[in-house]
């Protein structure tokens, strides 16, 4: 008899059903907190059997700053409990990049670059 098993170990990131409006402490803009769970899992015949090494992260929608949160708090969010994140709960991993969009009043050209004058029509950018 010959048995053929397909199994594997892999990592996955899953967005949780959580969205909290907030003012970002990195860029100062209004945005929201989005929570993600990252984990490693074992699968047999492409069916995930169990997960381990769960980590929870929060990303801001405004500038993309990334924070970690405690596993207990992340588990509560994953279970669907009503949770309000505070600044004490967030541990900064990576600061996001805030880039201001500049638009030429004369020709309407848009850029994120730090130009003083429009590269299309040479009009001063505000």
What is the C-alpha to C-alpha distance for residues 83 and 57, in angstroms, rounded to an integer?
14
State pLDDT tens for residues 29-75: 888 999 999 999 999 888 889 899 999 999 998 888 999 999 999 99
Q: pLDDT grade, residue 86 (50/70/90)?
A: very high
Domain boundaries, the chain: 7-95, 99-126
| Dihedral over Cα of 81, 52, 68, 17: its sign | negative
What is the C-alpha to C-alpha distance for residues 1 and 120, in angstroms, rounded to an integer?
73
């Amino acid at each position: 008899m010959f048995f053929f098993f397909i199994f594997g170990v892999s990592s996955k990131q899953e967005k949780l059903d959580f969205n909290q409006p907030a003012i970002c402490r990195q860029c100062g803009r209004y945005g929201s907190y989005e929570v993600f769970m990252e984990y490693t899992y074992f699968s047999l015949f492409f069916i995930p059997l169990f997960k381990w090494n769960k980590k929870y992260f929060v990303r801001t929608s405004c500038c993309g700053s990334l924070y970690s949160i405690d596993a207990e708090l992340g588990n509560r969010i994953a279970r669907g409990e009503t949770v309000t994140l505070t600044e004490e709960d967030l541990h900064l991993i990576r600061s996001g990049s805030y880039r201001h969009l500049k638009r030429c009043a004369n020709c309407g050209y848009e850029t994120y670059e730090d130009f003083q004058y429009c590269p299309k029509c040479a009009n001063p950018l505000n």
